[in-house]
Structure 1
Amino acid sequence: MKLLVIAIVLMASNHYCHGVVVKVWQITDIHLDGYYSSTSGQPQNWCHFDAEDGKALNALGDFNCDSPWPLVSSVIKAMQDIEPNPDFILWTGDSSPHFSKPQPPSMEYVLTVEQRLTDLLTSHFNGSNTQIIPVLGNHDTSPAGNFPDNSTFYKQFRQEGHWDAILPSEGAKVEFQECGYYHFKARGLTFVVLNTNLYYKTKFTETDPCRQLKWLEGVLQDPDLAPRSVILSAHVPPGFFERSSTVAFFTNALHENKINDLYLDVLMRYSDKIMIQLYGHTHTDTFRLYSSNDQVKSIGLIAPSVTPLVTKFGDESTSANPGVRLYTIDLGLGRVMDYHQYYLDLEHNHTTWSLAYTFRNAYGTPDLTIKSLETLFQNMQTNETLFQLYYKHNTLLYDNGPCDGDLCRRAQYCGISDAWLTTR
């Protein structure tokens, strides 16, 4: 009954007077672990079965571990119950688990996970005109982060991971085979899907691995692209983790950070074409302001994960309740009007997905544009109540305690507002 009420409220709020409304689910960082044991799991060993030291665990997950199958199936079912006819489902990567000992998940395991999740999504949304948009995450290979400049790898992934069934066009399949990136047009939007895992702790030393930035420039130079018509999506965002500002995401084997700023340079040059950038990876709920010459020119949103796993970047460990997000986009205005953030309150052992908050209601903004997010960020720095509300949402209402020190605040402010690794 609760889901039905939420869906009715959502439908009622989707009627904007300016243009056609498009609905987009974003689901990210599922990290499905088939070895999770709710009957005798060991939390210090990824909740895998342990006959001697294991214990009974929540069937829907544990904050020390990755997602069990019941959690994954429950979130897809909740998506279907809340909004069964979205225009798009943006699936932003990291479907396989984090464990690495005694050995990481094999490539066979990774592809099996992709098959299961692709089939699960298509089976729940097979009666609609929904386009599923898959994005590679750094854990969608074996070992994690091992993405070669080799078309054979991507062709195998496409075919054996069942992505051939969901990639939106033959052209997208050809592009994906190059190095995991592609683009397509639908409903007046251009979706640009990138493989930014090529830049995350990468073995590559060249400045443009897999020629992705050159390709991206070619796509964004299209004279037929209308202003604010591009939704750019990838798994790993540029810049820093907002809970530990010493952690930069884009680095290569020589510990050089050039690729981060080259990436941002391209996005700044074509920022008038980009409506929004959508990422995952951090397992947290936050946003980004991307600036050039002291002017915010583009914005990004980072969606929280399905996995409840405690993530650790630098010295900061963070738990978060599982989440999934539904965007409302006005095509006439070329902007994200709102999003509904859903969550499973695993901290209090709830079993039903519910609404955590809507962006406009929570933060008092009219939409999610550059002006609105820039104003929100400015207000967060002077309004303690507003900042602490954002901080609660950062871990999807999981209580990690308040952000009450200068170090914590600076990390959040820098993570949100400064993605450059050199002085600009």
Structure 2
Amino acid sequence: MIWKLIFLSSFVYYCSIFCQLVNGQVTLEIDVPDKSSLLITPRLIELAKKTSTISPTNDPATGCKICEEVIGNIISLRRSNATREVMRDYLYYLCLLYTRDGPVGCKKVDTLIDIVLYIIDHKEDLRPERFCAIYFIQYQCKDPNADDWTIPLPSYPAEVVKPDIKNDDGKFLQILQITDVHVDPQYTPGSNAKCSEPLCCESGIPDNDDNAAGYWADYHVCDMPWHTMENVLETINKTNENLDYIYFTGDIVSHRIWDTSEKNNSETIKKFLGVLETNFPNITVFPILGNHEPHPADAYSPESVDKNSNVSSQWLFDLVAEEWSKWLPSDTQTTIRKGGYYTVLVKPGFRIIALNSNVCFRQNFWLVFENNDTYDQLKWLVDVLSQAEKNGEKVHLLAHVPVTDEYYSCTQVWSRELTKIILRFSGTISAQFNGHTHSDEFKLFFNSSKVTSVGYNGASFSTFVGNNPNYRIYQVDSKNLTVTDYSEYIFNVSAAISSLSPPKWYKLYSFKDAYDLPDLTLESLETLYTQMKSNNTDNQIVDLYYRFRSRDSEPSNEEGCNLKCKQYIVCLASASDAIESVSC
């Protein structure tokens, strides 16, 4: 159980500084300087104590009330003319009071303070209910003034053009997916892997050999060194001569989110994309953004924010528009600079649509400022899919944050609307490819009890936390663009941790072979899901599915998955939006 606790506490850290507000993780012994002592009131300490006794199941209403009171205090303080310095100190000590982030982790306040002040200063109708309804969806907090927006969908066309899609003499496309690499420039082999900070393997002396950061990777709360990143790309290049395309589905920057900057993030992004190009000079890469690319992490500002402002995300869109131009045609520039998304007609009949789904991520502070179809992206998606449908094209849909996951990452309305779009255009979308969760998993989309679409999650190259690193190669029918199989490649961190020799990458499994499927048609996937639900999910197929989620890692296998765990991961595989994920 310890590894799950480590993982969950680490993930929660990467929320906003208040995402642990009602999770019962409270530190009351803090050193408050004189200038802030009057702000950290006995009432705030009393509320912090209450958080240790509530949960989404036993007292969700109290959780929402505490959130609303604390956030209301923040808004009121600023609107009482508190200075930037006072607000920064107040947020910092609230972070210490209500979370386990500690002095280092709570430094993220320094990266967020200008966004927080901008939102309070520029949104006159800002109310605490708005924040709490977005960030604490598991408590189902309500915002009575929320805008329940929707994206209109077209009716089905009377006629669809059916172009002559070549099947390349029966050959299959080979598509590499690599995701969530989280390269840490400060990773130091031999350093302390079991530290008290939110990210380890960077410094410090371990108390024993077991807690020393491995040369190639580590199962603890750590990201990946550059030399391992270079090793995996060199390995793929040498062992896979027939790759046609590469899908990179986001998250280059490390989890050191309290120490981000435009400069450091830009350098890491450019270096990674450069290494990718060096290893695959003749292969087109289709990249997308992750939630860790911006500064601050997770923050994608809406178009209404001045592009020259120090809180704008425009610098990132301009950066990737330039960097991605080595692979993408010039007609993608407009939407990339607008919001980090694009579409490419790869060849007649085959279109890729790359979304910036990070705008729906609940840890994106800007959702409190504007919670709508940011960058008009979903409206654009419907327009592109409508034209693709009329032209008889098949589409691969790339998005970092999936529609649903175990953290309810995507906001309710955005996830609901994207699901509606996916179901409407299920005849056009051949497959979806996601990242973000660091779990090897798939998502089935049902319409009238039938599977009509599938999303594949590429897991993560980063071991964060307790995983074996991986990459994946899909075999894709070159005519209808459906996935016919995929192979997962990993190396075992336990075997490589004490060795300076290059890690031994090997094929963990083929999806079709592992689950004994004749193919990966929607019908076969539906049959597989039915089998997973058999005997109340207590069966060998779910055991295998759990094993693969962490890529057969020793910590995960040692922890195991009880019946409640099995029911949960099977439920997640078919949850269609954030609320259904909460229900799991």
Fold conserved between structures, TM > 0.5: yes
Q: Secondary structure at the match of 2:275?
A: helix
**Is the Cα contact below 8 Å between 1:227 and 1:274 reproduced in 2?**
no
Instruction: Give the Cα separation in 1 of the matches to 2:384 and 2:180.
Output: 27
Mapped pair 1:291 → 2:451: no
- Residue deviations 1:314-342 (CA, integer Å, cap 9, x gap): xxxxx210000011111224311111110
Residue 62 in structure 1 maps to residue 218 in structure 2: yes
Deviates more, 1:290-299 or 1:189-198: 290-299
User: Which residue matches 1:143?
Assistant: 296
**Quick one: which amino acid aligns to residue 98 of structure 1?**
H
Q: 1:409 Cα deviation (Å)?
A: 1.5
**Structure 1 residues 148 and 167 mapped into 2: Cα distance closer, same or farther (>3 Å)?**
farther
Counterpart pick for 1:381 among 520, 528, 533 = 533
CA distance in 1 between counterparts of 2:388 and 2:377 reads: 20
Counterpart amino acid of residue 198 in structure 1: V
In 2, the alpha carbon distance for the partners of 1:145 and 1:132 equals 23
Higher relative contact order (CA 8 A, sep 6+): 1
More strand by share: 1
Whether the aligned pair in 2 keeps the contact of 1:337 and 1:366 (CA below 8 Å) is no
- Report if aligned partners of 2:317, 2:340 keep a CA contact under 8 Å in 1: no
| Paired position in structure 2 for 1:72 | 229
2:385 — aligned with what? 220
**1:191 and 2:338 equivalent?**
no
State the one-letter code of the partner of 1:81.
Answer: K
The answer (yes or no) to whether the contact 2:444–2:454 under 8 Å persists in 1 is: yes
Aligned twin of 1:233? 398
CA deviations on 1:359-402 (whole Å, 9 max, x unpaired) are 11111123322112111111122372222112111110113136
How many pairs does the alignment contain?
387
Q: Share of identical aligned residues, percent?
A: 27
Give yes or no for the alignment of 1:179 onto 2:339: yes
Amino acid at match of 1:192: I
Change over 3 Å in CA distance of 1:309–1:259 after alignment to 2: same
Structure 1 residues 210 and 333, CA gap change in structure 2 (3 angstroms): closer
Structure 1 residues 396 and 221: CA distance shift in structure 2, 3 A: same
C-alpha deviation, 1:38, in angstroms: 0.7
One-letter amino acid matched to 2:517:
T
CA 197–186 in structure 1, closer or farther in 2 if over 3 Å, else same: same
- Determine the structure 2 residue equivalent to 1:410: 567
Amino acid at match of 1:173: Q
Task: Give the corresponding residue for 2:156.
Answer: none
In structure 2, the CA distance between the partners of 1:398 and 1:164, relative to structure 1 (3 Å rule), is closer
d(CA) in 1 for partners of 2:562, 2:206: 42
Residue 340 of structure 1: aligned partner: 487
User: What letter corresponds to residue 189 of structure 1 in structure 2?
Assistant: F
Tell me what 1:82 maps to.
239
Amino acid at match of 2:409: F
Q: What is the CA–CA distance in structure 1 between the aligned matches of 2:376 and 2:261, rounded to whole Å? A: 27
The structure-2 alpha-carbon separation of the partners of 1:407 and 1:179, relative to structure 1 and needing over 3 Å to count, comes to: same
- 2:375 corresponds to which of 210, 231, 236: 210
Secondary structure in 2 matching 1:48? coil
Q: Which structure has the larger Rg over C-alpha atoms?
A: 2
Question: Is the contact between residue 19 and residue 333 of structure 1 (CA under 8 Å) also seen in structure 2?
Answer: no
Aligned match for 2:507, one of 337, 350, 355: 355
Shift of 1:51: 5.8
Q: Distance in 2 between matches of 1:234 and 1:379?
A: 28
1:154–1:178 CA contact under 8 A, matched in 2: no
The yes-or-no answer on 1:157 pairing with 2:316 is yes
**Structure 2 counterpart of 1:133:** 286
Query: Residue in 2 aligned with 1:40?
Result: 191
Q: Secondary structure at the match of 1:417?
A: coil
Q: Distance between the aligned counterparts of 2:273 and 2:517, measured in 1?
A: 35
TM-score by length of 1: 0.85
User: Structure 1: which amino acid aligns with 2:341?
Assistant: Y
Give the corresponding residue for 1:11: none
- Contact 1:28 1:280 (8 Å CA) reproduced: yes
Amino acid aligned to 2:232: V
| 1:28-71 residue CA offsets vs partner (Å, 9 max, x unmatched) | 00000001111434432421122687974211111120011121
Distance across 1 between alignment mates of 2:230 and 2:356: 26
Which of 517, 520, 537 is equivalent to 1:368?
520
- Secondary structure at the aligned position of 2:453 is classed as strand
Would the aligned equivalents of 1:228 and 1:272 in 2 still touch at CA under 8 Å? no
Match of 2:414 among 259, 267, 270: 259
Return the offset for 1:307: 0.5
> How far apart, in 2, do the equivalents of 1:232 and 1:380 lie?
26
Residues in 1 aligned to 2:271 and 2:192: alpha-carbon distance in whole angstroms: 23
CA distance 1:230–1:335, change in 2 (3 Å): same
| Gap change, CA 1:179 and 1:117, over 3 Å in 2 | same
Unaligned runs of 5+ in 2: 1-166, 498-502
Is 1:250 aligned to residue 410 of structure 2?
yes
Query: Judging changes above 3 Å, is the alpha-carbon distance between structure 1 residues 353 and 223 closer, same or farther for their aligned structure 2 residues?
Result: closer
Deviation at 1:294, TM superposition (A): 2.7
Normalization by structure 2: what TM-score?
Answer: 0.62
- Give the AA of the match of 2:280: F
2:174 partner SS: strand
- Asked whether the equivalents of residues 450 and 526 of structure 2 are also in contact (C-alpha less than 8 Å), the reply is no
Alpha-carbon deviations, 1:96-144, whole Å to 9, x = none?
01123xx332121111111111110111111x2x110111000011111
- Structure 2 counterpart of 1:21: 172
Task: From the superposition, tell whether residues 261 and 123 of structure 1 become closer, same or farther in structure 2 (CA, over 3 Å).
Answer: same
Quick one: distance in 1 between partners of 2:386 and 2:280? Answer: 34
How far 1:264 sits from its partner (Å)? 0.8
Deviations 1:180-225 (A, max 9, x none): 1100011331100001100001322433111111000000010565
Hey, what does 2:262 align to over in structure 1? 107
Matched, 1:330 2:330: no
**Aligned-pair distance for 1:348?**
2.4
Structure 1 gaps of 5+ residues are 1-15, 242-246, 252-256, 311-318
CA contact (8 A) 2:249 2:290 kept: yes
Q: Is the 8 A contact 2:246 2:284 kept in 1?
A: yes
User: Does the 8 Å contact 1:230/1:274 carry over to 2?
Assistant: yes
User: How has the CA–CA distance of structure 1 residues 404 and 306 changed in structure 2, closer, same or farther, with 3 Å as cutoff?
Assistant: closer
- Determine the C-alpha separation between the residues in 1 that align with 2:217 and 2:560: 26
More helix by share: 2
Which deviates more from structure 2 when the two are superposed, residues 21-30 or residues 347-356?
Answer: 347-356
Structure 2 contact 180–251 (Cα < 8 Å) conserved: yes
In structure 2, relative to structure 1, the CA distance for the partners of 1:362 and 1:52 (3 Å cut) is closer
